[in-house]
Amino acid sequence: MDHTSHDAGATGDRAALAPGSSGGHTGRSSHNGHTEHAGHRHGGVTWSTAAKATLHCLIGCAIGEILGMVIGTALMWGNVPTMILAITLAFLFGYSFTMFAVLRAGVDLRSAVKVALAADTVSIAVMEFVDNGIIALVPGAMDAHLTDALFWSSLLGGFVVAFVVTTPVNKWLIGRGRGHAVVHAYH
């Protein structure tokens, strides 16, 4: 195996690599230290990798969604405007987590936005659809207040179900070089 391109890629500018580019990597799974990334392009993604990607999205979504619910409730908005704010903030925070990580790798802002959109859009959309659907289906949850156990239990339950549903989606995406797989070119 020719390691000259690998060695150059290891010391070169990672930010110059295109998403999904291997930077000279061939047969990644045989490289020591690269086994966690071995399946990203060939469908051999582990459930652990998919769960980590999903958890990454879930944290950003949860922060944004909870913040949106708190703001909407504090301003005494109705259910629809509060949910719109919560979903908007969930996407904003979800994208921000990925963008900050990619920016730390030395990528310019425009490229970081593109990576975040490619990495997180499907995952966040599925997660938001599922967890907001759960909240809408739980009797009384839409009218519960921040001080009600029903509000928090339906919200947290929605996050759990969203995690369970979104993890296989992320596994499928990463296995095809999409979703969070595009982020791995930058770390």
CA–CA gap between residue 92 and residue 149 (Å, rounded): 27
Q: Confirm if 58 and 159 have CB atoms less than 8 A apart.
A: yes
Alpha-carbon span 67 to 57, nearest angstrom: 15
Distance CA 42, CA 67 (A): 38
From CA 164, how far away is CA 104, in angstroms rounded? 30
Kindly tell me the number of DSSP H helices and DSSP E strands found in the chain. 5, 0
Tens-place pLDDT, residues 90-133: 999 999 988 988 898 888 999 889 988 988 999 999 999 999 99
- Give residue-wise pLDDT tens across range 53-80: 899 889 999 999 999 988 998 898 998 9
